[in-house]
Structure 1
Amino acid sequence: MTDAKRIVVAGMPAAGHFNPSLPIVRELARRGFEVTYYTSDDFRARVEEAGCEFRTYPAGTLGPADIAEATRNGGPVRVVARVLTATEALLPLLLSDLDTRRPDAIAFDSNAIWGRMAAARLGLPMISLMTTMLIGGKAMARLNAREWLHFLGEAIPGVPAARSAKRRVVRQFGKDAYPPAPGLPMRGDVTVFPVPRWMQSPDPRIDDGCHFVGPTIRPPREDAPLDDELAAFTDGPEPVVLVSLGTLHAGSDAFFRACFEALGGLPARILLVAGSHTDPARLGKPPANTLIRASVPQLEVLRRAAAFVTHGGMNSALEGLACGVPLVVVPQQVEQLVIGEAVAGRGAATVLRHNLSKRPVPVAELRAAVENALSGSSPREAAQAIGASLGEDGGAPAAAEAIEDYLRTRHPG
């Protein structure tokens, strides 16, 4: 390696963004890089366990709850406004810290505007850590009229706040440092995509600096412990169906009751992850085959699962496929529709897109999709084939190699 050894990482404090980045920074640290990772206190222990220096975002600037609230109550445009507002506080913090100890490069989550702007202001190499593929105009064309109306109805109210926040950031820090159009997600001099190349549709933004390294998720541990209740529930004779809409999206009470009705009569054990914003008491008594939990160790449960009802976020989709589990994708936004359709195109998923227009998921269709995942050999075989191929692009070591190679060209010798 060259003498360009210090990298600062500006993270996005949300599990679906943090989790893919952690194996990459761990690998960089293993190779001798000194890595300083900025994110919220929620992730301190895991950053330090990876051998990196942890630096916290000040309380009240940005955390997982802020991103989840913006996602639930306004979608992507509201998230952009929240990120821009955080940039007003986080960019000065980053620039002040780096003024006394200048790194050799800045890596940033592809949505962490303050990280890219800090690199632009300081003239440092930019390393973008993507969490999904690039979504272009063709993806939006997949929406039907009803879905478009819902998307616009959710997005338009958030536009004034996003524009106002952008004006404040540009006025305070200058237009030259602001990311070029089309904005989020942002690429860098090196852009690492921890996703399979086949998931990415043709896009003119893909260039030689883009590296598709496949998933960086850790393999599920064979001996990973579960608490007594989960262990007993997942070790029974019937197949396990995991139902989870991720950490940012809150499933509605109506959706969870539909799961009761659709899956309660199946010869399976239904593990329903309702999240912290759902009071199970509101849902009524669950069927005898259903266990409700606020959260679970997802990878360890998926190793024991036979089907996965998911929102189709990239992290969750790849974790399911890594464990050879066929998916039933209930997308909450366009990106997840694209992910679900890509997996469905390979035979490993069924997509139920009703929520994109706020229609209830039909009980009969949900039951049929889960029954097909449980009883049909084709979805299971397709998921297992994808899972077996996910390591072919190199994962975290390939990501670290791409970063190291780029920095070597900047600092030869």
Structure 2
Amino acid sequence: MSATSSVPAPPGARRALPAMLILVAGCVIALITFGPRSVFGLFLLPMSQEFGWGRDVFGLAVALQNLLWGLGSPFAGAIADRFGTVRVMCCGALLYAAGLVLMSYATTPGMLHLTAGIMVGFGLSAASFNLVLAAFGKLLPDQWKSIGFGAATAAGSFGQFLFPPLSRALMDTIGWHETLIVFGAALLIVMPFSLALATRGVAAAKPGAAAAAPQQGIGAAIGEALRHPSYVMLVLGFFTCGFQLAFITVHMPAFLVDNGVSLSVGAYTLALIGLFNILGSLTAGYLSSRVSRKWLLAWIYAGRGVAIAAFVLLPITPLSCYVFGAAMGFLWLSTVPPTSGLVMLMFGTRYMAMLYGFAFFSHQVGGFLGVWLGGMLYVATGSYSWVWWLSVALSFASAAINLPIKERPVVRVPVAA
């Protein structure tokens, strides 16, 4: 495929940008927005120790962040589908940045929940890779779409690889307060890069029968999706992904400290997850256009169950942490390309941001419960064991629930003239 290929625009539409420029801009946005939120676990201990909070206080803040990120995603997606991506992303980036900066001044649980939870959560819903994926579905040529989904996910993964050691270095030199301010300033980079993802005036691609439908309103699109069994199963399976990712991201560093492993090992483990997730996301993006997406998802979820069970059963050492980070990283966000690809296959691209947003809401409800239960059960039992084994059980449940999915466009009957 040519690096200069672009989507043909109908008469009167704005001129399409080169596909490579769109791809690079979207990947930069995914990297910048995913990086800071992936290192929140590194702030759990210093903030809790400085202010005398239990882990449940910080855990609830990040749980709220995950829930509101998911809750806001369908609405942000619907607005972007109707009015374009740029304004939504700019507003989201400003809210996300303000949340991080004000979090550095949070001295009470309520202020922490407002900043790290509500502001960052809603900011992420309007400025993260869920909107990037939807924009790619509309702007990239057909031959670029699957690899674009994988590349955007991999870019977010690179943010997770880059930000943990960067966070540790900044926290050791300028302190955790100032580190949050630096990250808030970095998020402003999103605003100029979002211009390349402008979707107003761009004709949606038509990947199959799903696009040959009569004109739909938002309500009809939502109703159609929620009545479609394969979409419902896809959404339910995505719950597990959020549960596991949020729990590990937030509680893994503290879990390792509890087991006699340094916080630096926790940071490097998160970095390894990000590094290997680049390979896993690109591989999943490549395979999504070549093999059955539902089987790909089933194998990913089952693989996670095996990796988590092995990690919990074996002695916790720096080596076992790094091996777990590499294995889990390969499977980390590799669910995103086949999941977003199935949404596009089933319903087309017109309401992709909104419909993927509903799937992502399920993901973030899982994230809310993973972080919240991690903190609550730790306070109640002094251990994370229950949550680790619940993660294993959910892995195999999600592997099973994806198998009945039918991989074909929804059948629509044209309205009679």
TM > 0.5 between the two?
A: no
Structure with the greater alpha carbon radius of gyration? 1
**Comparing both structures, which one devotes a greater share of its residues to helix?**
2
Higher relative contact order (Cα pairs below 8 Å, separated by 6+ residues): 2
**Comparing both structures, which one devotes a greater share of its residues to strand?**
1
* TM-score normalised to structure 1 length: 0.30
